[in-house]
Amino acid sequence: MKFLDYAPAPESKALLGLKSDYGLFINGAFIAGRGTPFQTINPATEQQIAMIATANEADVDAAVSAARHAYDGVWSRLSGSDRGKYLFRIARLVQERARELAVAETLDNGKPIKETRDVDIPLVAAWFFYYAGWADKLDHAGVGPSPASLGVAAQVIPWNFPLMMLAWKIAPALAAGNTVVLKPAETTSLTALLFAEILQQADLPAGVVNIITGDGSTGATLVNHPGVNKVAFTGSTSVGRSVARSIAGTDKKLSLELGGKGANIVFDDAPIDQAVEGIVRGIFFNQGHVCCAGSRLLVQESIHDDVIDRLKRRMQTLRLGDPLDKNTDIGAINSAEQLARIRELSDLGEQEGAERWSADCEIPPNGFWFSPTIFTNVSTSHRIARDEIFGPVLSVLTFRTPAEAVAKANNTPYGLSAGIWSDKGSRILAVADKLRAGVVWANTFNQFDPSSPFGGYKESGYGREGGRHGLAAYLKPAVRSGSRSIAAANQQTSSVSKKTASVGKKSASAEKAAK
Amino acid sequence: MNRLVISKTYKLYIGGKFPRSESGRVYEVLSHTGDFLANAAKGSRKDARDAVVAARSALGGWAGATAYNRGQVLYRIAELLEGRRNQFVDEIMNCEGVNAAVASAQVDEAIDRWVWYAGWADKYVQVAGNANPVSGPFFNTSVPEPTGVVAIIAPQGTESLLGLVSAIAPALVAGNTVVVVANEHAPLSAISLGEVLATSDVPGGVVNIVTGSPAEIAPWLATHADVNALDLVGAGNLDWVELQISAADTLKRVLPPEAGADAALPALNRILAFTELKTVWHTKAIL
């Protein structure tokens, strides 16, 4: 055994009772999909876990119909407190089955069990618990008195935090009184289907939540379905653009949570050891498959060498390997496709002249793996400083003054996250003010909480998830009678619907774009 | 009345100055009876792009001004509008063919809306922001901030001044800067409003007014990568779906067209439509 080798400590799979085939969850029951089923694999071993159904157009239509029926017949008529009780039930059931969900998530996604066990699944439960309490308090959501739900929400989520993204989407939608059709990512459908079993245990009325699986075309069919009132998408900026194009001209309300290239800024007065922990958490958490990852390290020139030395030393202690092992820090890359993209961009980084350094990790024989890697001597024009890599790859840049740090941090079309490391409170406040990012972490990184709104500026998308603002994304103001004087506005300040008088028009060009 | 009146040359308002269109083009503005009123500048793609440059340059100062200061500057506009009341009433009567009482009511409502929005400048953050009770040793707040450069197609209906004011005032409250394409057939009060803005304390470039054809200019604004938000309130008669599709390429925030007298009613939501919510986590020491 080498220095820092640990004996294997794998989490048991015995508590899993997985099926060999999973259908679609529509109208409260599992049914066979009419598309071609596909296999979901464990990215750490490339072994098949189960076969997953594909929803074709007719299945999408059935799911939207079920959601509409449940909205009209049951969910929109239920009291807020009863909706809340269902959500509280779901939160508790998630807690009860937390370990099972954590193991399943780790198997299907490849992320370390310590993350699914301590971050993903606890946040899933917390998200449902938080929004459960909102369901009977919608007057305080910030959209005026007696706000209305939107109807059927189409939700398409990514593979990096499968069950957590599901919770971020479903909990506020249901609390606000909407019904849901959710499509998980192709490579990570498993926990969404286990969650469907939880909904059955919770006795949630049929059709309130429908889960359909498949690839991107299933998602596109869902988003473009005319029976949908709200679209919530989390994923890449390029797909986000096409979603925004496809809803143009419709009355669908849209929230987009897209890519990022977060700057993690370390000032010379920062507590360096803590900053190094934060850098590691910022880019190597979840193998860097994090839209808000701190993938650009901006370090003040005077401490650059010290920070990089300590960072490399810390990276050498990261354990890459079996995601089910409780000591594992770096799990498997989620798919062969993603691994290829990480390799491609990293190779490009070398070609463009940046200096590559990777932690010395033993790569398992099967599965998809990438050693934690940093690039130094990166300049702002390099592709690895501009493109989202979505892997455990950090680009290091330097700065001399706070103004330069802010300028470099904001020099990106993205605007999702940023970090600041400094012991000086006044500097943190001033820099946080100037960063064009939706979430700023000061002396911490990658913290999430259901009460804390999350979402981007610029091309990182629009709309917020989490907190009161995340609830408002699933509500619309009550329609007010049309008085146009200031006096009337004073009485109903925040209750004007911009849609009230909107022109309902969907031209041929919109139909075109939807294709 | 024998005196020969001095008629005004109506030009664009860009970066605090009143240039003619770089294209050299003008178009006739007619009264409701078909009489010649003025030659208005027919703004071009280049004019629109110049306006975006001016708006971007002015953004830092305007967004960085204190909320109290922005509120006072916006209020000052209302003061100057009040002082030029008669000019606006005359222009509206000529252009829109309404009587003095109707024109006066429009100007009154426009002024009152400025005052209403001015008062929001130092309050909207409190109403729309939050302290968030996160589970952990963190101080966590969410605060709305301006989105950036907002391009607006002003309402093209009958109430030219009120429509314009209702569209640009809410975008200015949070600290955004604006490029607005005026009412095509009744652009005179837009340019006169530019004169009000130029003599109030609004920094040059904060509001940029382009007259001309919205159908011609809007596509350049919808595709412009340095425009952050697109208010299509007055674009109902354009191919606005195509504009929205173009805006998706840079993920602009888009507000849809609104029709009739209820277009752009005063609302906090119109202010918030041009804001971004920033959430900051501050680590607390463990004592």
Name which of B134, B140, B248 is nearest A245 (Cβ-Cβ). B248
Set of chain B residues whose Cβ sits within 8 Å of the Cβ of A462: 251, 253, 276
SS3 readout for A408-431: HHHCCCCCCEEEEECCCHHHHHHH
DSSP one-letter string for B154-193: ---SS-HHHHHHHHHHHHHHTT-EEEEEPPSS--HHHHHH
CA A272 to chain B, closest CA, distance in angstroms equals 15
Set of chain A residues whose Cβ sits within 8 Å of the Cβ of B228: 458
Is A501's CB within 8 Å of B269's CB?
A: no
Is B109's CB within 8 Å of A477's CB?
A: no
Name which of A242, A497, A509 is nearest B242 (Cβ-Cβ). A509
B 263-282 near A (Cβ less than 8 A):
263, 265-270, 273, 276-282
Is B267's CB within 8 Å of A482's CB?
A: no
N-term to C-term CA, chain B: 83
Beta bridge partners of B277: B144
Please write the tens of the pLDDT for every residue from A71-85.
999 999 999 999 999
Contact A466, A449 (CB under 8 A): yes
- Tokens describing residue A77: 């008529």
Which of A481, A502, A515 to mutate to probe the B interface, most B CBs <10 Å?
A: A502
Set of chain A residues whose Cβ sits within 8 Å of the Cβ of B269: 143, 477, 494, 496-498
Beta strand pairing call for B130-131 and B138-146:
antiparallel
Sequence spans of domains, chain B: 26-283
Angle, CA of A504, A507 and A511, to the nearest 5°: 115
How many Cβ atoms are within 10 Å of B66's Cβ, its own excluded? 10
How many whole angstroms separate alpha carbon A45 and alpha carbon A29?
Answer: 31
Set of chain A residues whose Cβ sits within 8 Å of the Cβ of B132: 449, 451-453, 467
Name which of B113, B253, B279 is nearest A462 (Cβ-Cβ). B253
pLDDT score for A512:
41
Set of chain B residues whose Cβ sits within 8 Å of the Cβ of A415: 276
Is A428's CB within 8 Å of B279's CB?
A: no
- The radius of gyration of chain B's CA atoms, rounded to the nearest angstrom, is 20
Is B142's CB within 8 Å of A469's CB?
A: yes
pLDDT score for A487:
54
Is A498's CB within 8 Å of B258's CB?
A: yes
Asked if A358 has any chain B CB less than 8 Å from its own CB, the reply is no
Is B279's CB within 8 Å of A461's CB?
A: no
Q: Among all residues of chain A, which has the CA nearest to that of B228?
A: A458
CA A52 to chain B, closest CA, distance in angstroms equals 33
Q: Could you tell me the mean pLDDT of each successive run of 10 residues in chain B, 287 residues long?
A: 88 97 97 94 98 98 98 98 96 94 97 98 97 98 98 95 97 98 96 96 97 98 98 97 98 94 91 98 93
Contact A495, B249 (CB under 8 A): no
Contact A296, A387 (CB under 8 A): no
Contacts of residues A407-411 at CB distance under 8 Å and 24 or more positions apart, as own/partner, are: A408/A263, A408/A298, A408/A380, A409/A263, A409/A265, A409/A296, A409/A298, A409/A435, A409/A437, A410/A434, A410/A435, A410/A436, A411/A380
Q: Among all residues of chain A, which has the CA nearest to that of B142?
A: A453
Q: Among all residues of chain A, which has the CA nearest to that of B246?
A: A245
Which stretches in chain A have pLDDT values below 50? 482, 491-515
A 141-160 near B (Cβ less than 8 A):
142-143
b/e A277-301 (16+ beta carbons within 10 angstroms → b): bbbbbbbbbbbbbbbbbbbbbbbbe
Residues of A marked as catalytic: 257, 291
Is A240's CB within 8 Å of B133's CB?
A: no
Name which of B112, B132, B236 is nearest A452 (Cβ-Cβ). B132
Contact A95, A420 (CB under 8 A): no
Beta bridge partners of A75: none
pLDDT score for A6:
82
Question: Which phi and psi angles does A181 have, rounded to 5°?
Answer: -120, 120
Set of chain B residues whose Cβ sits within 8 Å of the Cβ of A240: 251
Q: Among all residues of chain B, which has the CA nearest to that of A439?
A: B279
Is A451's CB within 8 Å of B132's CB?
A: yes
Is B250's CB within 8 Å of A459's CB?
A: yes
How many whole angstroms separate alpha carbon B169 and alpha carbon B147?
Answer: 15
Asked if A248 has any chain B CB less than 8 Å from its own CB, the reply is yes
- Tokens describing residue A272: 């360096």
Name which of B115, B255, B265 is nearest A484 (Cβ-Cβ). B265
pTM of the predicted structure, to 2 decimals: 0.94
Beta strand pairing call for A148-149 and A475-476:
antiparallel
Please write the tens of the pLDDT for every residue from A163-180.
999 999 999 999 999 999
Is A498's CB within 8 Å of B273's CB?
A: yes
Is A256's CB within 8 Å of B263's CB?
A: no
pLDDT score for A510:
41
Distances (CA, A) of B189 to A205, A442, B84: 57, 48, 11
- Tokens describing residue A24: 């679609």
Is A507's CB within 8 Å of B261's CB?
A: no
Question: Which phi and psi angles does B188 have, rounded to 5°?
Answer: -65, -40
CA A511 to chain B, closest CA, distance in angstroms equals 10
Tell me the CATH class for B26-283: alpha beta
Angle, CA of A119, A124 and A125, to the nearest 5°: 105
Q: Among all residues of chain B, which has the CA nearest to that of A442?
A: B282
- Tokens describing residue B235: 């674009």
How many whole angstroms separate alpha carbon B19 and alpha carbon B79?
Answer: 25
Name which of B242, B255, B281 is nearest A441 (Cβ-Cβ). B281
How many whole angstroms separate alpha carbon A262 and alpha carbon A267?
Answer: 16
Q: Among all residues of chain A, which has the CA nearest to that of B135?
A: A449
Distances (CA, A) of A247 to A158, A232, A366, B245: 19, 11, 42, 9
N-term to C-term CA, chain A: 57
Is B248's CB within 8 Å of A459's CB?
A: no
ipTM of the complex: 0.95
Which of A484, A491, A495 to mutate to probe the B interface, most B CBs <10 Å?
A: A484
Residue B206 DSSP one-character state: S
Asked if A432 has any chain B CB less than 8 Å from its own CB, the reply is yes
Is B281's CB within 8 Å of A501's CB?
A: no
Is A496's CB within 8 Å of B278's CB?
A: no
Is A453's CB within 8 Å of B132's CB?
A: yes
B 119-148 near A (Cβ less than 8 A):
127-128, 130, 132-136, 138, 140, 142, 147
Strands of the A209-211 sheet, one edge to the other: A29-31, A24-26, A209-211, A179-183, A152-156, A230-234, A253-257, A461-462
pLDDT score for B261:
78
Name which of A437, A459, A489 is nearest B265 (Cβ-Cβ). A489
Which of B109, B124, B282 to mutate to probe the A interface, most A CBs <10 Å?
A: B282
pLDDT score for A509:
43
Name which of B112, B239, B262 is nearest A486 (Cβ-Cβ). B112
